[in-house]
Amino acid sequence: MEVLDLARWQFGITTVYHFLMVPLTIGLSILVAGMQTAWVRKGDERYYRMTRFWGKLLLVNFAMGVVTGIVQEFQFGMNWSAYSRFVGDVFGAPLAMEGLVAFFVESTFLGLWIFGWDRLPKRVHLACAWAFSLATVASAYFILAANSWMQHPVGAEFVDGRPTMTSIWAVLTNSTALAAIPHTIAGAFAVAAAFLVGIACWHLWRKRNTDDLDRPVWRSSVKLGAWTGAVAFAVLAITGDFQGKLMFEQQPMKMAAAEALCHTEQPASFSIVAVGDVADADCDSVKTFNVPALLSFLAHGDFTTEVKGIDELVGEYQERYGTHYPNDPALGELAGKPVDYVPSLPVTYWGFRIMIGFGALGAAIGMAALWLTRGGRIPESRWFPRLALAGIALPFIANSAGWIFTEMGRQPFVVVPNPTGVDGVWMYTATAVSDLTTGEVWTSLLALTSVYAVLAAVEVFLIVRYVRGGVEAVLPPESDPDDKQGSGDALAFAY
């Protein structure tokens, strides 16, 4: 493989792995803050025990997210230094704001929350939980603002061969970012919801024939998770529709690739599923099952809009951005070769459907669990906990598929041209990679993948350990929720 391919694989592996932690941290941190709020307001020990148990799992996940997230920042200098030089004046600003503002707020108030159980007044301690959870949302916002600029560059002018920022406000209020943030947060809630439902259902079933002190904890967790998942999926559908209309305007090739729409249609049908090789750019071997005119509605809000196909868009892209890569030896085997403006159709087509299908299935499992446990019921079947636990994976897969579709759907660009923006503010992925040897990239790829595999084993071990232990495994000895004068030893035990 060439340096470009290896660098993309490395970034893809580390990013997808890191993003497994991100949505769970965002969604679970807000739900845990809500649990603690219920305890402070009502004084019900059930909510205290919920806060302790789910808070412990949150901390394990957050720690792994921090470790894997640090690598993400360094990769821009390792394998993508040409990209960093080109966009640094703009791209670096939201990344710096995320590190200097959001992450420090997260870390500070998380530390106060961890060590403040027996030292801070209840309401002050609760405020720390909310400050931490809201800071995770702010962190996501700044990261999404940076990513959205790559998808739709705004607030910049082209000076001396590279973009120069003219308005940080334009970057932070980019329409692409404003659409992405509620969609991403809803996806985070979907992940956290499935996490609650799966684990709580397993505990209910495991102790169905015993007098379980924490049965109210698990029932409340199932209800919270199921309703959160249902609302999250509804928000995902609404925000996803808005994103689709932006994609039609800003990245028409990505929309055509999502549908494997080879030829222009008016009105355009939405493909439910395809049979055949969707990588066939002529669609000669593909049979699709369609909903007539639905794609036109998703693109423009009516049932008559024309949606351009891949073949027509390729000609437009070639006319505007060129037909060949620069004849630069740094581009390796791509030097002087024709530019392929078509993203990987199997990845974009099926990634889009996996995102929707798995997200919907995850929400459905949550509602099914709510129905099966209604009125104090606990199903006897072994399929009940198995289905609930399997449901945990579905929103994770949906989130990852959505991001893979988003990033691979913009290829061959790393900075996608803005159709109404400044000429020159775009960049091919092939020209963004560092001047490295394949051996150097192989070394970092194998090293990081190995380290991440070890970290994955550690996280799974810790999560499984604390899940199996239940609430009692995370409480300090002789824990009294109303006692703010616990010992330091108790704190060390709990966290």
Confidence class for position 492, pLDDT limits 50, 70, 90: very low
Q: Has residue 26 been placed in a domain?
A: no
pLDDT at 490: 33
Domains identified in the chain, total number = 1
Spell out a b/e string for 27-38, using b for 16 or more CB atoms within 10 Å of the CB, else e.
bbbbbbbbbbbb
Segment 327-335 long-range contacts (CB within 8 Å, at least 24 positions apart) = 328/431, 330/431, 330/435, 331/4, 331/430, 331/431, 332/2, 332/3, 332/4, 333/2, 334/2, 334/4, 334/430
Give, rounded to a whole angstrom, the gap between the first and last alpha carbons of the chain.
Answer: 45
pLDDT at 330: 76
pLDDT at 56 over 60: yes
Q: Has residue 264 been placed in a domain?
A: yes
pLDDT at 484: 46
Return phi, psi of residue 382, to 5°: -70, -20
pLDDT above 90 as % of the chain: 53
pLDDT at 478 over 70: no
Name the β-bridge partners of 157.
164
Q: pLDDT: is 473 or 235 the higher one?
A: 235
Confidence class for position 177, pLDDT limits 50, 70, 90: very high
Lowest mean pLDDT among 66-70, 341-345, 394-398: 66-70
pLDDT at 356: 93
Q: Has residue 478 been placed in a domain?
A: no
Could you tell me the CA-to-CA distances from 416 to 28, 99, 328, 382, 490 in Å, in that order?
Answer: 33, 25, 21, 49, 53
Lowest mean pLDDT among 26-35, 143-152, 347-356, 376-385: 376-385
Is the preceding peptide bond at 412 cis, omega within 30 degrees of 0?
yes
pLDDT at 370 over 70: yes
Q: Has residue 421 been placed in a domain?
A: yes
CA distance 377 to 370: 10
Confidence class for position 481, pLDDT limits 50, 70, 90: low
Collapsing DSSP to helix, strand or coil, 274 comes out as strand
pLDDT at 147: 93
Name the β-bridge partners of 265.
307
pLDDT at 424 over 80: yes
pLDDT at 493 over 50: no
H helical segments located in 43-161: 45-78, 81-97, 104-115, 122-151
pLDDT at 471 over 50: yes
Q: Has residue 442 been placed in a domain?
A: no
Q: Has residue 360 been placed in a domain?
A: yes
pLDDT at 296 over 70: yes
pLDDT at 20 over 50: yes
CB 287 within 8 A of CB 274: yes
Q: pLDDT digit string (tens) for 136-157?
A: 999 999 999 999 999 999 999 9
User: Structural domain of residue 343, as residue ranges?
Assistant: 212-431
* Element of type H or E holding 102: none
Q: pLDDT digit string (tens) for 78-134?
A: 889 999 999 989 988 998 888 887 778 888 999 999 999 888 999 999 999 999 999
Tell me the whole-structure pTM to 2 decimals: 0.90
Q: Has residue 277 been placed in a domain?
A: yes
pLDDT at 214: 81
Task: Give DSSP secondary structure letters for 176-195.
Answer: HHHHHHHHHHHHHHHHHHHH
Q: Has residue 224 been placed in a domain?
A: yes
Q: pLDDT digit string (tens) for 434-447?
A: 888 889 999 999 99
Q: What is the mean pLDDT of the chain?
A: 88
Confidence class for position 188, pLDDT limits 50, 70, 90: very high
Confidence class for position 491, pLDDT limits 50, 70, 90: very low
pLDDT at 485 over 50: no
CB 388 within 8 A of CB 201: yes
CA distance 362 to 233: 9
Average pLDDT over residues 216-244: 93
